[in-house]
C-alpha cells in the first residue's frame, strides 16, 4: 500500500519516486517515464543524456 500512496503523492505534487530496482536506483515520473539515477532527464522530450 505504501507504493500506491507514493505514486498518488508524486502525481499530485508533480514529483518522482526514487527506488532500488534490479539494475540499480531509478526515478519513476508520474507520466510513466523511468530513468536510471545515473542518467539525466531534461524537459518533456524522451531524450536521456
Q: Assign 3-class secondary structure to 1-33.
A: CHHHHHHHHHHHHCCCEEEEECCEEEEECCCCC
pLDDT digits (tens, 9 = 90+) for 31-44: 889 888 876 655 55
Sorted by where each begins, the domain ranges of the chain are 2-36
What's the pLDDT at 47? 52
The helix/strand/coil state of 35 is strand
Flag whether the pTM goes above 0.75: no
| Long-range interactions of 3-10: CB distance < 8 A, separation 24+ | none
Amino acid at each position: 500500500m505504501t507504493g500506491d500512496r507514493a505514486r498518488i503523492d508524486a502525481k499530485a505534487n508533480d514529483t518522482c519516486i526514487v527506488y532500488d530496482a534490479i539494475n540499480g536506483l531509478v526515478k519513476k515520473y508520474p507520466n510513466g517515464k523511468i530513468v536510471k539515477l545515473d542518467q539525466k532527464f531534461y524537459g518533456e522530450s524522451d531524450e536521456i543524456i
